[in-house]
Chain A
Amino acid sequence: MTQLIVKNGFVYDPLNRIDGEKMDLAINDGKIVGKVDEKKAKVIDASGMIVMPGGVDIHCHIAGAEVNTGRLLRPEDHFRDVEAKTAITRSGVGYSIPSTFTTGYRYARMGYTTIMNPSMPPLEARHTHEELNDTPMVDKASYPLLGDWWFVLEDLRDGMIKECAAHVAWIMVATKGYAIKIVNPGGLEAWGFGQNVRNIDDTVPRFNITPKEIIRGLCKVNKLLHMPHTIHVHTNNLGKAGNYATALDTMKCVENLASDDKPVIHITHCQFSAYKGSNWRTLRSGAEEIAKYVNHHRHVTLDLGQVVFTDTTTMTADGPFQYGLYQLTGNKWVNHDVETETSSGIVPFRYRRKSYVHATQWSIGLELGLLVEDPWRIYLTTDHPNAAPFITYPRIISWLMSRNARDITMKRINKRARHKSLLPSIEREYSFYEIAIVTRAGQAKSLSLTQKGHLGIGADADIAIYNINPELVDPSRKYKAVRKAFENSAYTIKNGEIVAKDGKIVKSVRGKTFWVNPQLSSPIEVADDMKRRFREYWTVEYENYSIPESFLAASAPISVKAEV
């Protein structure tokens, strides 16, 4: 196995409190080690460059039924963005919904090495994993959608938390999932008959349970199972004016489930849930209120869902939301309801600078990023591809790091949005250290991926080296240089091997798939109970639902000891 030394770089490793220190990293057998034989090792000269752990993305839709239908829906998205085959890489297409190989290569070029695919319909999990098997370069995992699953609704309605935990554990293993994903809880079940829920205290039709009870119940289940991540929540009323109140209610409703200082809920793509006002015309930012709450409560983490002005494709499990978006835009619309479990929808979308609403959305994301004080609890995402494709991250990094960059964009957005934006009043500019937190360290911590997001001894040797000198470049003024540096890493090292260099893929590697294997006290009983009800719930057999571990090209199970 190759030995590597990364020499003389400015290292940003926040989990080990290393802030731009000039130091060397030794790599052996895919891991960071204390020392290697200098004569045998290959040396990478990183002088004048930034060295960070490989990027970690906590929420981006890169694989599975919904993503793939998005690809199918949008040939026009691909025509102008193609990647030809090389001796090392497969061909593919972009733009907002790249083909699987291209997705892996593009992340690797940006120095990202671990990707979380946040929206897996359990019944179609096999599809997700087939695509992940074809997504090279990165380690990955998926979150099964469980907030509207009939077993969850029934168990929680009947107050059977332990049974619910057992069922959730079963489906984690059956689908090879990593975290509990909740999307518009109760709303997706209602959408089965074209309905929705209005707030977290509304009753889910036909099930006599409220979204609040679902969120709280699954939060308790999450704790019982000792899941590595918190519940991962896409709030009710997403994308609607006035929904910041729903977001606050959602965070508040699990406040008393938090003990010690640990987060118990992650509100994903929070920008989409931070709107004041009563309709699109009166839309205003709710970022201040949300940031204030988060600054005072340690049980919440967020990711941004930052909008970038471009043509993209929206796709969520939130069927009713997507239908609303279709009605709003008149664009083409895909709906896909999944029996017993969830729904989904897709609508192409263009964010325009001159639109009041879109410009306000853009501002809200950055306001959240800048007003939430603790970078360990807010992460950089675009909810790829919902608010923008992931290749726009470097641009967002430059906005976070530079007031100038923000001002320049500000000048070109809708006037009314500009006047209402809170951004001009915000001085804050991120440091490279903080960027390292919101793009890798914080996300790895939130996911409890202990080998990721840092460069301490024993960590996976997933490393990104960016060609920018923090001693010479002031990111506030030279934001374009920052952007450029983060667009194409000088080196991306995956598992101890150089896989990308100066924006070119030099080696194709597979990457593992993580999944959580909760150890229950009596797993057999669960299976019997599931088996009995299986044919009533689904149109497939129990035996054909579960995905065997061998189906994953590189399976990386994480065992957790459950309290049930």
Chain B
Amino acid sequence: MPVVSHVTCPVCGSFCDDIEVIVKNNVITDVRNACAVGAAKFLDYANHRNAKPLVRKNGELVEASWDEAVRKSAEILIDATYPLLYGWSSTSCEAIRVGLELAEEVGGVIDNTSTICHGPSILSIQDVGIASCTLGQLRHRADLIFYWGCNPWSAHPRHVERYTTFSNGRFQKSTWRAHVSRLGGILSKKRLRRAINLVLGRDVFATPEISRELPYNMFQKKRKMVVVDVRKTHSAEAADYFLQVEPNKDYELLQAFRMLIADEELDVDHVAGVPVETLNEIADVMIGCKLGVIFFGLGLTMTEGKIRNIDAAISLVRDLNQRTKFLIMPMRGHFNVAGANVVFTWQTGYPFAVDFSQGYPQYNPGETSVIDILCREEADAGLVIASDPVAHFPKKAAQNLVKNPLIVIDPQTTPTSLMADVVFPSTFVGIETEGTAYRMDHVPLPLKKIVEPPSNCLSDVEILQRILHEVRRIRSKRK
């Protein structure tokens, strides 16, 4: 049976590239090495496909020819004075490049999903910088790993085993074995259960609680994992140490660590719900480690304080570099959200929220970001690609988005596509179309074509190019 090897997984920011996919008669029948989330994508992607281009007529979405859909889209974009082009984090860099050219051509605003996830992280990096690395650097060297406000166990399931605590590196051995024996095999049972769940297709993450004494042998010479979160997640259960921070108190906790690192004393008993004694211990471990890293997620970027939180986290890491080596990395969600930032930046100088209405790139998040524009009701048309803002945007923004003429490019039917005026059935990049994407640490990898797409679907690149050409053709005719 034909096996396609070294496939990258077009799902999460871990962007694993060791997936093996078994294909029979152009159908994916099995997936190896992927986590449950990744495997589900490869096995179930074909459901709920958009089959044909659709154009809204008399209030109904009806099938249309490609030419008609392209022409309609071009007209929508040309007639708009301030169109929005949004999405981009789940498509290839090649498509993003064309998208930027299109946005420039029509003088619109182009924004990617960072705007609603790690936007504050980017603003914070622009304020103070960031000390980071590629993930392999951590696999080889990190002996202290923080997951702060993120839950890799469910959102980036292979992150821990491929890149951090359970991975095997040149200077750091995996703690996997020790961990397994320590937990009396609970974890391997968990993995087994995950595998069983996968096969049975049930809820994969319904694992039992593990009760453990904390604090946990932090001074042992081995890799340590610390989880900071408002609730005890599955990641927290696998950690050597879990700090349950009170909601919206991350900033206080980070500042407390900064003080402790600077050898100051805290004259309170608790900070953000965590006993100071515990903080002292962890601060010592931070200073004493060879290489530490903080991964942070939406628990830090989207809770109260936002930019201030990230500033504090990055500053903590900067401070720590005076004592040892310490790095920090945002846990990016979509497999190519990092790539969206990267391509935006090399073409325009800015990573998201780019406004071309003056003929050159302008950037002022809060003003040129998609949610703000929608809330101010300034946009008069939209193009959404590989994203579902109707399901994810605040209500008012979503309402204003669908109020205007809307073009959607998506392989699947989504709440957004149902509200659109033109819908393009695209191929799945990374399954049916090749391309390039960037892992969360900005390592670029190829997206593979494993199976042939349905005959009536085109790739994002082709669809965008067609629209771009049509825009130029109509414009030159009108002149």
Which residues in A have some Cβ–Cβ distance to B below 8 Å?
Answer: 63, 65, 68-69, 71-75, 77-78, 82-85, 90-93, 97-101, 123-124, 126-127, 130-131, 134, 150, 192-194, 206, 323, 326, 331-340, 343, 346-347, 536-544
Contact = CB atoms under 8 A, between A and B. Distances in A.
Nearest to B348: A99
A101 B347 contact: yes
B162 interface: yes
B310 to A, nearest CB: 13
User: Of residues B6, B18, B349, which shows the largest number of chain A Cβ atoms within 10 Å of its Cβ?
Assistant: B349
Interface in B248-278: none
B290 interface: yes
B222 interface: no
A540 B347 CA distance: 27
Contacts, number: 179
Contacts of A337: 132-134, 137, 327
Contacts of A334: 125, 129-132
A72 B128 contact: no
A92 B444 contact: no
Given A92-B361, A127-B438, A193-B325, A72 B291 contact: no
A539 B162 contact: yes
Contacts of A537: 136, 170
Interface in B324-368: 324-325, 327, 341-343, 345-351, 356, 358-363
Nearest to B444: A126
B335 to A, nearest CB: 14
Contact of A99 (B325, B346, B362): B346
B17 A71 contact: no
A334 B446 CA distance: 26
Contact of A71 (B136, B171, B345, B362): B345
A82 B362 CA distance: 9
Contact of A127 (B18, B129, B349, B442): B442
B320 to A, nearest CB: 10
B141 interface: yes
A123 B140 CA distance: 15
Contacts of B324: 194
The 6 tightest CB contacts between A and B, nearest first, are A339-B136, A194-B325, A332-B129, A337-B133, A93-B349, A84-B359
Contact of B139 (A84, A97, A539): A539
Interface of B: 5-6, 8, 17-18, 93, 97, 101, 104, 122, 125-137, 139-141, 162-163, 170-171, 290-291, 318, 321, 324-325, 327, 341-343, 345-351, 356, 358-363, 436, 438, 442-446
A194 B8 contact: no
A538 B136 contact: yes
16 contacts: A90-B104, A92-B349, A93-B350, A100-B347, A126-B444, A134-B97, A150-B170, A193-B290, A336-B442, A337-B137, A337-B327, A538-B136, A539-B134, A539-B443, A541-B6, A544-B6
B240 to A, nearest CB: 21
Contacts of A69: 442
A85 B343 CA distance: 18
A374 B345 CA distance: 41
Given A84-B359, A124-B444, A539-B163, A78 B137 contact: no
Nearest to B323: A194
Contacts of B93: 130
A71 B343 CA distance: 11
Contact of A540 (B130, B140, B170, B445): B445
B291 A192 contact: yes
Nearest to A339: B136
Given A194-B321, A335-B327, A544-B445, 20 more contacts: A68-B342, A69-B442, A72-B350, A75-B363, A84-B358, A85-B360, A90-B101, A92-B360, A97-B349, A99-B361, A124-B444, A193-B141, A193-B290, A194-B324, A194-B325, A323-B321, A338-B133, A339-B134, A539-B136, A544-B6
B333 to A, nearest CB: 18
Contacts of A68: 342, 345-346
A492 B347 CA distance: 23
Nearest to B290: A193
B18 A99 contact: no
B345 A72 contact: yes
Contacts of B445: 126, 540, 544
